[in-house]
Chains A and B, each alone.
Chain A
């Protein structure tokens, strides 16, 4: 066993120091306070985005890394609004779309893509089997990408059921409010901005639920923070620590 100890000691000396920032993928600055762990998406994590406005939220979450040079692949999201993706900051030059695979090939296809792409956005047509989910989680962890999961359309899956095991990070849009359309009988104005309340839960650092209010998008088209993230519990800690 002495030999093994020597090897470990040597490994400690020779292994390059990995900073926490290198184990994360960047997110847009307004979302930094939302995600735990050094202001970026932790590599190798599964993110579930749910609620009304989930599609925009998911695109905003991936936009930072896409802008920084990661390739994105969207599997089984034929309805993805590409103009909206570009407006929210996804780089279309590094975006590939894959048509919805048949249910029996879903996990094979997603696994092949997780192997090669840093950002994978999926929307399964049926429930994800626990075994598939476990294998995909392991694959994602090994490859260091991020799998962003949108619960199926109209599947009525509750947020905690969308992914069979607890996801590393779960962003749920609980309230949305559109601005710009004026109420009344004349139909004046147009949709300009949306204020959303996002609840963040997850595992490890993210296990304390927090909420934040975002403009998604703000009237000038960008994603901005309307009210900083804070712990959902009653005794709110100072904002700086929460971030």
Chain B
């Protein structure tokens, strides 16, 4: 196998130069960063606060897998000229089987160099391309990590185990997509292995396979196979039955990514159902489209942690996004390029299937999972109202009522898995000056202006030292006639982000209870009172 790897792809995909400090964050943790940021001490997995403390001038980007995939598509398309069946492992990494292409190009070394050149041209110097060749995808991934730009590392056939032996077991976590296991399980296992004193892959490979299987189960077996330089599972020699492929005609033809992605969700469900009926799971899937003008585009995606319906649908969306936003001018064909007409047919073909090991849901806590019916209902509503209309809450740090939680599009999170970011206690850091409980039950996303006046009818203000100029006597919310204030508390001054002129907010909040018994949270900002929230 040959693996080509573009390090720090998320940063490159966002159009940033690698010598600027850039942090890519997801759920408040760093998931990718530029070498410049790494040089300043930031690492993957760090919390936002700490990462920004280490490199304060870094630009912070949100993690967007779709953007990464879209940018990667032209790169992979360039490789199509060299050999067919290039597989995308995840944006930034692709793999291809070397046997045929090597023979054509005169060996693994020339092929690897050629791949490096082609990808380097496609990238135009925006990023490095590291190429590794070895017996298994995992070993090739390790080899790519050892390679330098322009100097691919080729591990001779049969010596992959020896090549891998000195690597620390931690590399199993880093190369999860190439390894092939559900996210998280290998993570725990490598921890255990290190604690048992098995620090290198050579140590793991030295154990007897039967013992590893008996002690650690299928995950242990998988790690053992990877450590020995084998593929994650024995080669499947039989092609899956062609009737497993699912296809749908799009009438009228689709030109927008979101419309096509909506179809893809139901198609992925259908594929999953067909495979499920036969007790199979899919590890490689080909996504093919046909346009009104008869152009055909196809791309394989590989993910060995078996692709669930959501994962397949996500990859279809990325792929369509890549095709439909590809630079115009190149003719569409099997080698990619932008289609010239709407998509009229979408096909998903499983290229490699494995017996489904099944997923045992937790006996307790399993109820946190969204059932299939609810997921379908949400997909339907997202189809009617747009994907941004369906959101789920996640805790974020903050002081004001609207800042403590953020709404995340439901399509962007895995609702069928546990979501720690939605659980209380996710934000562990204290937020001094946070609005105390009870929190208001109605928070106005767009606060309306209100009038707060004192007994003489003059507007109430707050001095620079945080004192109120006069006790509020009447409050007018919206068009309703002013109501007498029966009780009030405050003001509490909040001067946030004073170090950043663009994001600075200086506010003073008061709680008022009016004569009807309604309690409001008002904020004074920019010389006006705003109805921030209501204690309804």
Q: Report which A residues bind B (CB closer than 8 A).
A: 52-56, 59, 69, 71, 78-88, 92-99, 101, 105, 108-109, 112-113, 115-117, 154, 175-178, 180-183, 185-194, 217, 221
Chain A nearest CB, measured from B203 CB (Å): 39
Q: Which residues from chain A contact B415 at a C-beta distance below 8 Å?
A: 96
A115-B404 in contact given A81-B439, A97-B393 (Cβ < 8 Å): no
Chain B: which residue is nearest A69 at the CB level? B367
Which residue of B423, B517, B533 contacts A177 across the interface (Cβ within 8 Å)? B517
Q: In whole Å, how far is B458's beta carbon from the nearest beta carbon of chain A?
A: 15
**Do most interface residues of chain A lie in helix, strand or loop, or is the interface mixed?**
mixed
Closest Cβ of chain A: how far from B534's Cβ, in Å? 8
The 8 Å CB contact of B489, one of A79, A175, A189, is A189
Q: Roughly how many angstroms separate A57 CA and B128 CA in the complex, as a whole number?
A: 58
* Proximity bits, B432-461, A CB within 8 Å = 1, else 0: 000011111111110000000000000000
B519 CB to closest chain A CB, in angstroms?
Answer: 5
| Complex alpha-carbon distance, A82 and B478, angstroms | 23
The docked-state distance in angstroms from the alpha carbon of A82 to that of B443 is 8
Given that A109-B384, A116-B377, A189-B489 are known contacts, is A93 also in contact with B368, CB under 8 Å in the complex?
yes
Are B393 and A82 interface neighbours, CB within 8 A? Answer: yes
Encode contact with A along B366-407: 1 for CB under 8 Å, 0 otherwise: 011011011011101100110011111101000001001101
Q: Could you mark each residue 490-529 of chain B with 1 if its beta carbon is under 8 Å from any beta carbon of chain A, else 0?
A: 1100000000000000000011010011110000000000
* Beyond known contacts A81-B443, A187-B510: 16 more, CB 8 A cutoff: A52-B516, A82-B393, A84-B438, A84-B441, A85-B441, A92-B395, A92-B422, A94-B370, A95-B392, A97-B392, A105-B384, A112-B381, A117-B377, A176-B517, A177-B517, A181-B487
30 contacts between A and B (CB under 8 A): A53-B535, A54-B536, A56-B535, A69-B368, A71-B374, A79-B444, A79-B445, A81-B533, A83-B439, A85-B441, A92-B424, A93-B368, A93-B419, A94-B370, A95-B392, A96-B415, A97-B393, A98-B381, A99-B391, A116-B374, A116-B376, A178-B487, A181-B519, A183-B486, A187-B489, A187-B490, A187-B491, A190-B436, A191-B511, A194-B519
Q: How far is the CA of A81 from the CA of B418 in the complex (A)?
A: 23
- Hey, which chain B residues are within 8 Å of A183, CB to CB? 486-487
B123 interface residue, CB < 8 Å from A? no
Tell me which of A93, A98, A217 contacts B389 (CB under 8 A): A98
Alpha-carbon separation in the docked complex, A186 to B487 (Å): 10
CA distance A10 to B370 in the complex (A): 36
The reply on B410 being an interface residue by CB < 8 A is yes
Min C-beta distance of A194 to chain B, whole Å: 7
Cβ-based interface call for B262 (8 A): no
**For residue A52, which residues in chain B have a CB less than 8 angstroms away from its CB?**
516-518, 536
Which residue from A55, A97, A175 sits with its C-beta under 8 Å from B441? A55
Contacts of B404 in A (CB 8 A): 82-83
Question: Could you tell me the distance in whole angstroms from the C-beta of B372 to the nearest C-beta in chain A?
Answer: 9
Q: Is B488 an interface position by the 8 A CB rule?
A: yes
Q: Are A112 and B377 in contact (CB under 8 A)?
A: yes
| B371 neighbours in A (Cβ, 8 Å) | 116
User: Is B468 an interface residue, CB under 8 A from the partner?
Assistant: yes
Q: Please name all residues of chain B whose beta carbon is closer than 8 Å to the beta carbon of A97 when the two chains form the complex.
A: 390-393, 407
Question: Within 8 Å of chain A (Cβ to Cβ): is B471?
Answer: yes
Contact (Cβ within 8 A) B438 A192: yes
Q: Which B residues are CB-close (under 8 A) to A71?
A: 370, 374
CB of A99, distance to nearest CB on chain B (Å): 4
Q: How far is the CB of A69 from chain B (nearest CB, A)?
A: 4
Say whether A113 contacts B381, CB under 8 Å: yes
Contact assessment for B373 and A190 in the assembled complex, using a CB-CB cutoff below 8 Å: no
Contact of A187 with B391 in the complex, beta carbons under 8 Å? no
Contact yes or no, B373 A116, CB < 8 A: yes
When distances are taken between beta carbons in the complex, the residues of chain A under 8 Å from B436 are 190
Taken together as a complex, chains A and B put the C-alpha atoms of A101 and B384 apart, in Å, by: 9
Complex interface: chain B residues within 8 A of A93 (CB):
368, 418-419, 422-423
Bound form: Cα–Cα A88–B441 in Å: 10
Contact of A185 among B378, B380, B471 (CB under 8 A): B471
- Which chain A residue lies CB-closest to B419? A93
A56→B491 contact, CB < 8 A: no
- The reply to whether A108 and B384 contact each other, CB–CB distance below 8 Å, is yes
Q: Known: A52-B536, A93-B418, A191-B511. Is A178-B519 also a contact (CB below 8 A)?
A: yes
| In the complex, the 7 A-B pairs of residues with the closest C-beta atoms, listed nearest first | A116-B377, A69-B367, A83-B439, A99-B389, A55-B441, A116-B374, A84-B439
User: Nearest chain-A residue to B367 (Cβ)?
Assistant: A69
Residue of B at shortest CB range from A175? Answer: B517
CB distance from B442 to the nearest CB of A (A): 5
> Which of A81, A92, A180, A193 has the most chain B CB within a 10 Å cutoff?
A81
Question: A53, A55, A96, A113: which has the most chain B beta carbons within 10 Å?
Answer: A96
Write out the residue numbers on chain B whose beta carbons fall within 8 Å of the beta carbon of A188.
489
Contact between chains at B377 and A113 (CB < 8 Å): yes
**Residue ID in chain B nearest A53 by CB atoms:** B536
What CA separation (Å) do A235 and B485 show in the bound complex?
A: 38
Distance (Å) between the CB of A131 and the closest chain B CB? Answer: 20
On chain B, the residues within 8 Å of A54 by CB distance are 536
A55, A79, A177, A188: most-surrounded residue (chain B CB, <10 A): A79
Q: Which of B418, B424, B468 is most buried by chain A, counting CB atoms within 10 A of its CB?
A: B424
Q: A56-B441, A78-B445 are in contact. Are A96 and B391 (CB under 8 A)?
A: yes
> Quick check: A55 and B368 within 8 Å, CB to CB?
no
**Which chain B residues border A112 with CB–CB below 8 Å?**
377, 380-381, 384
B392 neighbours in A (Cβ, 8 Å): 95-97
In the assembled complex, the Cα of A157 lies from the Cα of B510 at a distance in Å of 30
In the bound assembly, the distance between CA atoms of A117 and B375 in angstroms comes to 10
Chain B residues within an 8 Å CB radius of A192: 438
Given A112-B380, A181-B487, A187-B468, verify A83-B367 contact (CB < 8 Å). Answer: no
A87 contacts B423, CB within 8 Å?
no
Q: Which residues of B contact A98 (CB under 8 A)?
A: 381, 385, 389-391
Cross-chain contact B510 with A80 (CB below 8 angstroms)? no
Residues of B within 8 A of A113 (CB): 377, 381
A190 to B438, CA, bound (A): 10
Tell me the complex Cα distance, A94–B367, Å. 9
Contacts of A55 in B (CB 8 A): 441-442, 536
Minimum Cβ distance to chain B for residue A59 (Å): 7
Q: Inside 8 A of B438's CB, which chain A residues have their CB? A: 84, 87, 191-194, 217, 221
State whether B511 touches A190 (Cβ < 8 A): yes
B519 in contact with A86 (CB, 8 Å): no
Among B395, B415, B535, the most chain A Cβ lie within 10 Å of the Cβ of B535
